[in-house]
Each structure stands twice: as C-alpha cells, then as structure tokens.
C-alpha cells in the first residue's frame, strides 16, 4: 500500500528549523517526496511522529495553492 503524503495544505515553514508546521517535513523532504521509495517515506513518517509537528510560532505562512513547494505531495 502506498504511503500518502502527510501534506495537510498548511504550508508554513519555520525559518529557524526549516520544518513545515503543517506536515512536519523539511523543505528537502517535501520536494523529494514524489521520488522517495516507500521505505524512505515510512522513515519520514516515523520521524514526524517521533518529533511531533512543530509549533507555528515564527513560521512563514504561504498559500498552499501558490507556493509550489510541495504541490500537494
């Protein structure tokens, strides 16, 4: 079974951590998601669950439809 993207259409990257407060992934993880193996995706999902989603303080909010960072992936 394919692992779905954790994207929740709340693109706001905390500049201090480079972690999206919506999905909990780094910019690199977001951009590479479509090219990752299922094992790599599972590892990221476990990492997100372990560290939890970051707080939104200081995050830079972007319109998910126009930011093109993750394109919903």
Query: SS3 string of 1-55?
Result: CCCCCCCCCCCEEECCCCEECCCCCEHHHHHHHHHCCHHHHHHHHHHHHHHCCCC
* Residue 69 three-state SS: coil
Question: Tens digits of per-residue pLDDT, 4-27?
Answer: 889 988 888 888 889 998 899 999
In a domain, 25, yes or no: yes
In a domain, 73, yes or no: no
In a domain, 29, yes or no: yes
In a domain, 3, yes or no: no
Quote the domain boundaries for residue 44.
12-67
CB 24 within 8 A of CB 52: yes
- pLDDT of residue 68 exceeding 80: no
- When divided into structural domains, the chain yields a total of 1
Q: What is the pTM of this model?
A: 0.69
- CA–CA distance, 31 with 27 (Å, rounded to integer): 6
């Amino acid at each position: 079974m394919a692992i779905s993207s954790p994207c929740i259409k709340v693109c706001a990257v905390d500049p201090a951590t480079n972690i999206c407060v919506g999905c909990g992934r780094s910019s690199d993880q977001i951009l590479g998601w479509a090219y990752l193996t299922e094992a790599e995706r599972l590892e990221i999902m476990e990492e997100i669950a372990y560290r939890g989603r970051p707080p939104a303080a200081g995050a830079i909010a972007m319109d998910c439809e126009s930011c093109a960072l993750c394109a919903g992936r």
